[in-house]
């Protein structure tokens, strides 16, 4: 089953701000997010308050997202960068 990836506008705006500084890191981030379509709970992700709220670290970045199994949807809620 393939899930649809939806980006919250704020999360996408934050990711876009990092584009000028770290294109390669963002490419890795977007590849990891794309992979959530096939496996929304990969082994390197962690629960973030519940089984459906998840956290994923990709290099210097972290992604918070919500899995909705009934809608086959993953919503990217937040992108942050670890100093």
Q: Where are the domains of the chain?
A: 4-81
CA-CA distance, 36 to 42, in Å (whole number)?
A: 7
What pLDDT is recorded for position 60? Answer: 94
Whether this prediction's pTM lies above 0.85 is answered by yes
What pLDDT is recorded for position 8? Answer: 97
Tens digit of pLDDT for each residue in 23-80?
999 999 999 999 999 999 999 999 999 999 999 999 999 999 999 999 999 999 999 9
> Which stretches of the chain are assigned E, i.e. beta strand?
4-7, 45-47, 53-58, 61-68, 73-81
Q: Which CATH number fits domain 4-81: 3.30.2310.20, 3.10.20.30, 3.20.20.80, 3.30.1600.10?
A: 3.30.2310.20
CA-CA distance, 22 to 36, in Å (whole number)?
A: 22
């Amino acid at each position: 089953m393939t899930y649809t990836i939806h980006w919250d506008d704020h999360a996408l705006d934050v990711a876009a701000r990092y584009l000028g500084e770290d294109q390669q890191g963002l490419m890795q981030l977007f590849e990891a997010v794309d992979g959530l379509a096939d496996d929304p709970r990969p082994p390197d992700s962690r629960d973030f308050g519940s089984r459906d709220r998840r956290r994923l670290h990709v290099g210097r970045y972290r992604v918070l997202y919500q899995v909705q199994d009934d809608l086959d949807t993953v919503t990217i809620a937040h992108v942050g960068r670890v100093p």
